[in-house]
Amino acid sequence: MRKFFNSFRFAFAGLAYLLRTQRNARIHLLAALLVIGAGFFLRISYSDWAWLIVAIVQVYTAEAFNTAIELLADRITTENDEKIRRAKDLAAAAVLLTAFGAVAIGLFILGPHLYATLCHH
């Protein structure tokens, strides 16, 4: 049981490290809190919540993998290395693509609700 609970402790330590050291993770947190607040304000459906939660989790997953790749790459060498630079660029691209997808999901779900709320009341 100790190993099981330690795995959660290590995972939460990783999440804390991500939020403490990565500016973009904090920006994503602010965006997630705004989206969650808008979801409550607009009383979105359970299925809409599911999509928003998936989008938020995907962004954080990509951000965590990006940070892990950067840390490992920097541990291997701090010298200019084309393959390491490309790996880091690709990891950053994964975060960017995931964030764009999350924004699209957010607009698709929250946009009509915001329009109805702001323009019809």
pLDDT at residue 40, as a whole number: 97
- pTM of the predicted model, to two decimals? 0.90
pLDDT at residue 69, as a whole number: 98
- Tens of pLDDT along 37-60? 999 999 999 999 999 999 999 999
| Residues belonging to the chain | 121
pLDDT of residue 14 exceeding 90, the answer is yes
One-letter amino acid for residue 39 of the chain: G
Mean pLDDT for all residues in the chain: 95
Confidence of residue 121 (pLDDT cuts 50, 70, 90): low
Quote the CA–CA distance of 17 and 51 in Å, as a whole number: 26
Structural domain 2-119, CATH architecture: Orthogonal Bundle (1.10)
